[in-house]
Amino acid sequence: MNAPLIAPSLLSADLSCLTESLSSVSGADYLHFDVMDGHFVPNLTFGPALIGAVKRASNLPVDAHLMVDDPDGTVDWYLDAGADIVSVHVEAARHLDRLVHHIKDRGAKAGVVLNPATPVSVLEDIVDAVDLVLLMSVNPGFGGQTFIENTYAKLGRLMRLLDEHGAHPIVEIDGGVNRGNAGKLAAAGATMLVAGSAVFGSEDPAAEVEALREAARTVEGA
Ligand code: DX5
Ligand code: ZN
C-alpha cells in the first residue's frame, strides 16, 4: 500500500502572497481548492478564475471541491479552468450519474463528496463510475474545525462497500486532518488527505507536508 496523496487546502493559505504559498507546498501531490458559493455552505471563497491562475502558476494538479448548489449548471467553469479532479456533493447534485460521466468525458477525474451525516449507502449505484470518493470529516464551510471521530467508522463502511463492488477509487478525507490522525486514516483506507490549517498554519508548510506523509506512512507500516 502506498502512502496517501497529500493535498494542502488553499483555504488556509495566505492569498496576499499566493505564489509564495504555492511554492511552499510544491512537494505536495495536489492543490485542494474549496469552492464555496454562500448557499450550499455559509461561506464564499474561490471561483474558476483563481483555479485558472493557479494552473498557470503551479505544476501541481488541482483538486476542486465544489461546495455549491446545482453543480450540474456550473461544473464546466471548473473544467474549463483546468481542474484535474472535480468533486461534487451528492447532497447538491441533481443528476449525479450524468454529472459524473460528464466530468469524466471532459477528461478530468470525477469525485463525489459526502457530508458527515450522509450515509455511504448513497454511493451504492454510483460507486462503480467514480474516480474518487471524498468523506467530509467536518461540516463543510470553514477551515480549522475539529475532526469528527465518527469518520473512522464511516471510512470502514466505505471500504466494505468498495470491496463488495471491487471498486478502487481514490479515498479522500477532508477536514481536521493533522499529524495525529493521518496514520490512522491511512491505515483505515484513506488514499488522499486534505490538510488546510495543519499545513498553512505551521511555520514551515513544506516540512508539514512531509510530516503528514511520514505520519501516514509510520502507522500504516506498524
Ligand atoms: C472545509 C473544506 C476543507 C478545509 C480543511 O469545508 O472542505 O478543505 O479547508 O481545512 P482544515 O484542514 O483546516 O480542516
Ligand atoms: Zn475541501
Interval 104-124 mean pLDDT: 98
Whether residue 100 has pLDDT greater than 50: yes
- Separation of CA 92 and ligand 2 centre (Å): 15
Task: Tell me whether residue 34 is one of the annotated catalytic residues.
Answer: yes
pTM of the model: 0.98
> Whole-angstrom Cα distance, residue 96 to residue 87?
11
Q: Which atom of ligand 1 lies closest to the CA of 41? A: 6
pLDDT at 93 over 80: yes
Q: Determine the average pLDDT of the residues in 14-29.
A: 97
CATH architecture of the domain with range 5-216: Alpha-Beta Barrel (3.20)
Rounded to whole angstroms, how far apart are CA atoms 209 and 78? 26
Of the candidate ranges 2-6, 156-160, 174-178, the one whose mean pLDDT is the lowest:
2-6
CB of 188 within 6 A of ligand 1: the answer is no
Q: What is the CA radius of gyration of the chain?
A: 16
Residue 210 has pLDDT above 90, yes or no: yes
Percent of the chain with pLDDT over 70: 98
Question: Looking at ligand 1, which atom is closest to the CA of residue 144?
Answer: 13
- C-alpha–C-alpha distance, residues 55 and 79, integer Å: 12
- What pLDDT does 1 receive? 61
Query: Confidence class of residue 220 from pLDDT cuts 50, 70 and 90?
Result: very low
What are the cell numbers at 192?
488522499
CA of 42 from ligand 1 middle (Å) equals 14
The residue-averaged pLDDT of 130-142 equals 99
Is 163 known to be catalytic?
no
Residue 12: CB within 6 Å of ligand 1? Answer: yes
pLDDT in tens, 60-82: 999 999 999 999 999 999 999 99
pLDDT digits (tens, 9 = 90+) for 180-209: 999 999 999 999 999 999 999 999 999 999
Overall average pLDDT of the 115-140 stretch: 98
Structural domain spans, the chain: 5-216
Q: Which atom of ligand 1 lies nearest, measured to the CA of 178? A: 12
pLDDT at res. 2: 74
More confident residue, 2 or 221: 2
Beta bridge partners of 172: 134, 192
What is the b/e burial string over 107-129, where b = at least 16 CB atoms within 10 angstroms of the residue's CB?
A: ebbbbbbbbeebebeebeebbee
Band of residue 105 on the pLDDT scale cut at 50, 70, 90: very high
31 lines ligand 1 (CB under 6 A): no
